Structure 1
Amino acid sequence: MSDKALGMLKHMRGQIVGQPFRDVAVRGAAISIGVDPGQGECRVLVDELLRGGYLETYPSPSLSAHGLYRLTDR
């Protein structure tokens, strides 16, 4: 896993501390590592986390299209 993807994952894990759900927003995680959430680099990092099994999409594609994902237990 790349350092940037790891940085996003760490930020996302921080988003769920004390929360009863595993929902995370990509925007804040991307900004926290200096990546523009609207650019292709962010999409590549999200894809890396999805392929690695760290994130999963929502059953409703419209939520994932808005940058919302679920963090897995991995």
Structure 2
Amino acid sequence: MVRDLKAAPSAWVHETFPAVRFAWQAGYGAFAVSKSNVEAVRAYIGRQEEHHRKQNYQDEYREFLTRHEQEWDERYVWD
């Protein structure tokens, strides 16, 4: 399933930006959002650039995984 989800965006990037070197990271994460939280997630996405000036993505992701008691292996999370 993940391979199929990545296929179309990969093709688009390679066709649109042929000079750019693009590759997916080795690992992936999938998360569900309850209907009651959709607006909060949209708001987060809307202010993501500003938010990541204060806390980088890696630290935020680790915090998220810890808060939700998820185990992870650093070797498969970052390039």
State TM-score, norm by structure 2.
0.27
Structure number with higher strand proportion: 1
Structure number with higher helix proportion: 2
Greater C-alpha Rg: 2
Larger RCO (alpha carbons 8 Å, 6+ apart): 2
State TM-score, norm by structure 1.
0.28
